[in-house]
């Protein structure tokens, strides 16, 4: 069991958005090694069908098990969680497997106006999993749901590539403004939206733009910290926490991509302070 405990934890997303979850995981579990896959070569997931997303989820899970011998898997993508996590759990019944979901329950507890905004991809917000989550909170708050076509892709382009220019960043701002304006007034007054659930891991990297548009009083809720705490709980339950004397775990973390390597390298340095040599192309994963 101890040999298995010292194996890495797999994490994947359709692109760099899942780095926001990896960031929280590394803070919660500093002695663990991680293997991250950005499936940027097949992004965005949110605009694709469930069958495609499920196929990619299984391919990446199989790759992480076969090539990196992971002990646990974190699906750091709302769309992939909604489309494929049930099948992934059946495929790997012994493995701790954690998905992400929009933080609706924490938003209900936090909101004072009772009016909560939710932004996400079409794939996430139209899923049966999201509908069930929403139905379980019926009567507890009013949710304003806004699919944000193109936003995750715009964030991917503006955050990853070192040559990201003002026009690309402006596109992120434009989309954030258009989608939040379509949701209605934000604020602390009666009938206003006072909490915004970021229903895509990419959207964490647009927090500055959203804050500039919506102001300092609006609560933003993401999934990184709850996911990291749940991952710790599952590892503890199964006796799979890494030995505490493992040195420099962050330096042993590896990041892979099916897309442009320079995009992942730039994002990893910017958000996780990990050097370029810890990023590679995902050889063996198509």
Domain with CATH 3.40.50.1860 in the chain: 2-100+224-281, 104-221
Encode the chain (286 residues) as per-residue pLDDT tens digits.
558 898 999 999 999 999 999 999 999 999 999 999 999 999 889 888 899 999 999 999 999 999 999 999 999 999 999 999 999 999 999 999 999 999 999 999 999 999 999 999 999 999 999 999 999 999 999 999 999 999 998 998 887 555 555 667 789 999 999 999 999 999 999 999 999 999 999 999 999 999 999 999 999 999 999 999 999 999 999 999 997 666 667 788 999 999 999 999 999 998 899 999 999 999 989 8
Is CATH 3.40.50.2300 the right assignment for the domain spanning 104-221? Answer: no
Q: Which of 148, 176, 200, 279 is catalytic?
A: 200
Mean pLDDT of the chain: 92
Classify 31 as helix, strand or coil: coil
Structure confidence at residue 2 (pLDDT): 55
pLDDT value at position 249? Answer: 73
Q: Catalytic residue among 77, 148, 176, 279, which?
A: 77
Q: Is 279 designated active site?
A: no
**What pLDDT sits at residue 164?**
57
Q: Which residues contact 26 (CB under 8 A, 6 or more apart)?
A: 32, 34, 250, 253, 272
Instruction: Tell me if residue 73 falls in helix, strand or coil.
Output: strand
Q: Any idea which architecture 2-100+224-281 has in CATH?
A: 3-Layer(aba) Sandwich (3.40)
What confidence score (pLDDT) does residue 244 get? 67
Element (H, E) at 196: strand 195-198
pLDDT digit string, tens, across residues 111-138:
999 999 999 999 999 999 999 999 999 9
Q: What's residue 252's pLDDT?
A: 87
List residues bridging with 186 in a β-sheet.
193
Identify which of 254, 249, 238, 268 has the alpha carbon closest to the alpha carbon of residue 11. 254
């Amino acid at each position: 069991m101890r040999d298995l405990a010292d194996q890495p934890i797999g994490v994947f997303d359709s692109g760099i958005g899942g780095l926001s979850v990896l960031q929280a995981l590394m803070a919660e579990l500093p002695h663990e090694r991680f293997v991250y896959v950005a499936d940027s070569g097949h992004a965005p997931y949110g605009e694709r069908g469930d069958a495609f997303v499920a196929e990619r989820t299984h391919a990446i899970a199989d790759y992480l098990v076969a090539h990196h011998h992971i002990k646990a898997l974190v699906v750091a993508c709302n769309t992939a969680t909604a489309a494929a996590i049930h099948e992934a759990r059946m495929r790997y019944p012994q493995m701790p497997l954690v998905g992400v979901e929009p933080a609706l329950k924490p938003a209900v507890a936090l909101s004072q106006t009772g009016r909560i905004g939710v932004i996400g991809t079409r794939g996430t917000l139209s899923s049966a999993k999201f509908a069930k989550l929403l139905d379980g909170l019926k009567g507890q708050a009013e949710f304003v749901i806004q699919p944000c076509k193109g936003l995750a892709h715009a964030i991917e382009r503006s955050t990853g590539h070192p040559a990201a220019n003002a026009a690309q960043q402006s596109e992120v701002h434009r989309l954030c403004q258009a989608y939040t304006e379509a949701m209605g007034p934000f604020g602390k007054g009666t009938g206003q939206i006072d909490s915004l659930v970021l229903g895509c891991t990419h959207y964490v990297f647009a927090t500055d733009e959203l804050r500039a548009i919506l102001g300092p009083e609006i609560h933003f809720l993401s999934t990184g910290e709850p996911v990291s705490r749940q991952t710790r709980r599952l590892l503890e339950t199964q006796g799979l926490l890494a030995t505490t004397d493992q040195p420099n775990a962050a330096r042993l973390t590896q990041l892979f991509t099916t897309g442009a390597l320079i995009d992942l390298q730039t994002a990893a340095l910017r958000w996780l302070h990990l050097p370029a040599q810890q990023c590679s192309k995902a050889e063996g994963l198509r």
